[in-house]
Amino acid sequence: MDNKGAEGQALSSPKKASASLSTWKAENLIARARLKGIANWIAEHELWLLSVPVTLMLFVGRLPIRIISASLLLIPIPWVCRRAAKGYLTARTPMDLSIVVLLGMALVGLYPSVDSSISVPVLYKMIVEFALFFGLVNSFHSERRIWAIVAVLLVAGAGASLLGLVGTGEMAYDFSTILGTHRDFVLQLVRHLNQAGFNDNIVGGTLAMLFPLNLSLFCFGSKRRSRPLLAFSLLLIGTTVLLTQSRGALIGLAVALVAMAIWRSRWLVLLVPLALIGLFVVSRYLGVKQTEIVDFFLTTETIRSAQARFELWQRAIYMLQDFPFTGIGLGTFSRVASVMYPYFLLGPNAVVPQAHNVFLQAGVDLGIPGLVAFIALLTTFSITAVDTVRMAKHTEFEPLAIGLLCGFVVYLVHGLVDAVTFSTKPGTVIWMIIGLMTALWCRLKSVEQD
């Protein structure tokens, strides 16, 4: 009996060990599934994490740099979680290679910088904007989320308009005369609020990029309940852009609206040459000289002649010639120009923070390799945007696609005379536009392939 009992225990031991092993495997699988679910939830809410560094970058000059640096640690968390939950770091886009080169050249640009306290925050800003781009691309999983992100962008535009209204500088041309008896009050209010330090051209160019999106959704969108809010936003943004009197922004907006009109009716393209001929005839009849037209488009409150503008661009070209591979350092245009390339027409004490041309500024900050990557990024995105408009035709996303594309047109046109780019805070808006359009392209492309 003792031998049989011993044999029974010996036979039952492997069964118990096998059952214990199966239980352990099952518990392990459940724990992995839970961790995978948590990782997936974090990856799905990437934009919530990114909202922290994006918000902090708005106060980069007022917060300790260590706080900004710490916020960057949030960026890789959803990437790691996405890799664990879905098997990839981020969705692939046509702009990936250009962004990698831009980021690499930004790191290289720290070497020649004369002031790291200026260049490092600009580098941080670029990292946050690139992360925001990929965050938007990875967050378009449902139509509800798409429209929620668009709503955030529109609300941000309305809020920026209010800030622009209180921070817009003194008007170069006195539009307040149309207000009659309220003229003096308006001028005193504008002079007082000018202490906020807003740059009229930057504010105008940024808000002009959002105006076509508002207009397209208001006129052609299917969501009628949102039209009162869109109408209010249109009025607010349009008024702010007008008060900034940024000619680059107004010209860019005009070109974008023409493009939107042509999209609605191809026959309107025939009116473009007729309109140009009409403007030429009217200007000749009024005796307007070509130099006056050029001065009107190229002058600002600080750059008071076309020759001064050309001198500024010449200084940027000199910088490109002297620092072709590395650039002068992120955001250091003003510091380098005042020491190595002093102005004559602008005056030796002139403080100009950037090259007033988005392409020259990219070359100055990132060198010729960075400029090539920047042009490649814009070219690739342009092709992607046009393809998105094509795929979105006759869908509810068509007004969104054409509004984003026309906003990008404003950026390109305005960028010829000003630079809403890496070193400026409103540059985040253009990356939101690029990210939204690319995310829409990825979604429509997957639907088209299915």
**Is residue 112, in this structure, part of any structural domain at all?**
yes
Cβ neighbourhood burial of 325 (10 Å; 0-12, 13-18, 19+): exposed
Token pair belonging to 79: 């990437």
Residue 238: which domain range?
90-449
Tell me how many domains the chain contains: 1
**Is residue 15, in this structure, part of any structural domain at all?**
no
How does pLDDT run across 211-237, given as a tens digit for each residue?
Answer: 999 999 888 877 777 788 888 888 888
149, 436 Cβ separation under 8 angstroms: yes
- Integer Cα distance of 336 and 148 in angstroms: 43
Mean pLDDT, range 91-109, rounded to an integer: 92
- Integer Cα distance of 259 and 251 in angstroms: 12
How does pLDDT run across 311-368, given as a tens digit for each residue?
Answer: 889 999 999 999 999 999 898 998 888 888 888 887 777 778 888 889 999 999 999 9
- As a whole number of angstroms, the longest Cα–Cα distance in the chain is 124
How does pLDDT run across 33-59, given as a tens digit for each residue?
Answer: 888 888 888 888 888 899 899 888 877
**Is residue 20, in this structure, part of any structural domain at all?**
no
**Is residue 16, in this structure, part of any structural domain at all?**
no
Model confidence at 287: pLDDT above 50: yes
Model confidence at 17: pLDDT above 80: no
Whether the CA torsion 306, 307, 310, 312 is positive or negative: it is negative
- Name the pTM for this structure: 0.84
332, 119 Cβ separation under 8 angstroms: yes
**Is residue 417, in this structure, part of any structural domain at all?**
yes
**Is residue 245, in this structure, part of any structural domain at all?**
yes
**Is residue 24, in this structure, part of any structural domain at all?**
no
Cβ neighbourhood burial of 6 (10 Å; 0-12, 13-18, 19+): exposed
**Is residue 83, in this structure, part of any structural domain at all?**
no
